[in-house]
């Protein structure tokens, strides 16, 4: 995840040379906000701070809460004026949102003319559920015995996150209940349709994966060959299936 933070800040600087006012939508504890400030950007964050995480407390401990990070307002309103940001970024947030309409409208509202949204999140067709670390857990029918024992078996084989010594049954039940409550994976076509009314959309999947390869101590040597044009579709597919989607979206002018 930390490489995502670095990538987002570097990409923002690449796409918008010069002074940048940046908003991290769904900022959590504020890591991207702090990295962007350290890079010389005027950066802020906003979040709902749902009860499934501890990010609000962590943002407060960093001294960012109520100075650079602010809670979303009632109805999902972003607590900033119209047209005040050059770039909005969002990292692994939109899979936690059931209805995209208000977030898209609000992000569009706070972006300046031709402003950019850098948006990283998985669609339903990603192979591995990234919050609990179990392949296909988000795609199998909720409440089914097959899903429960499939997850249970893979956890027994050593897969899965946040184990904390929990018994298999307890871990499986808790993990599946968590993703059922807090995630809303959508198909790629539905995602593109939701954003296309307010934004033009460009995939940066290959760019993101090349960045990750270049930063990997054992794979950096492959970044040169992998950057060949013929490899772009392969990288795009690998990113979408193994990690998620990376979009750069440009604000459409109001009609």
Q: pLDDT of 161-216, one tens digit each?
A: 988 889 999 999 999 999 999 999 999 999 999 999 999 999 999 999 999 999 99
Give 213's Cβ-side CA count (13 Å radius): 17
Q: What is the pLDDT of residues 97-132, one digit of tens each?
A: 999 999 999 999 999 999 999 999 999 999 999 999
CATH pick for 2-124+185-251 out of 3.40.190.10, 3.40.50.150, 3.30.70.520, 3.40.50.10310: 3.40.50.150
Phi, psi of 142 (to 5 degrees): -60, 140
**Hey, where are the domains in the chain?**
2-124+185-251, 132-182
């Amino acid at each position: 995840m930390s490489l995502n933070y670095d990538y987002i800040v570097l990409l923002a600087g690449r796409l918008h040379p010069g002074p940048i006012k940046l908003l991290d939508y769904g900022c959590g504890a504020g890591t991207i906000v702090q990295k962007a400030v350290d890079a010389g950007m005027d950066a802020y964050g906003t979040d709902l701070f749902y009860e499934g995480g501890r990010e609000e407390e962590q943002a407060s401990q960093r001294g960012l809460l109520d100075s650079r990070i602010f809670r979303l307002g009632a109805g999902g309103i972003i607590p900033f004026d119209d047209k005040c940001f050059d770039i909005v970024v969002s990292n692994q947030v939109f899979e936690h949102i059931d209805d995209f309409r208000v977030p898209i409208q609000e992000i569009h509202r706070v972006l300046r003319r031709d402003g950019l949204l850098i948006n990283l999140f998985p669609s339903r067709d990603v192979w591995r559920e990234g919050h609990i670390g179990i392949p296909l857990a988000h795609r199998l029918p909720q409440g089914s015995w097959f899903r429960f024992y499939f997850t249970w078996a893979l956890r027994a084989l050593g897969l899965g996150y946040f184990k904390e010594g929990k018994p298999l049954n307890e871990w499986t039940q808790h993990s599946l209940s968590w993703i059922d409550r807090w995630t809303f994976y959508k198909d790629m076509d539905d995602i593109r349709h939701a954003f296309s009314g307010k934004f033009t959309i460009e995939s940066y999947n290959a760019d993101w994966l090349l960045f990750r390869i270049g930063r990997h101590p054992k794979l950096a040597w492959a970044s040169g060959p992998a950057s060949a044009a013929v490899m772009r579709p392969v990288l795009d597919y690998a990113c979408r299936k193994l990690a998620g989607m990376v979009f750069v979206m440009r604000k459409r002018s109001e009609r």
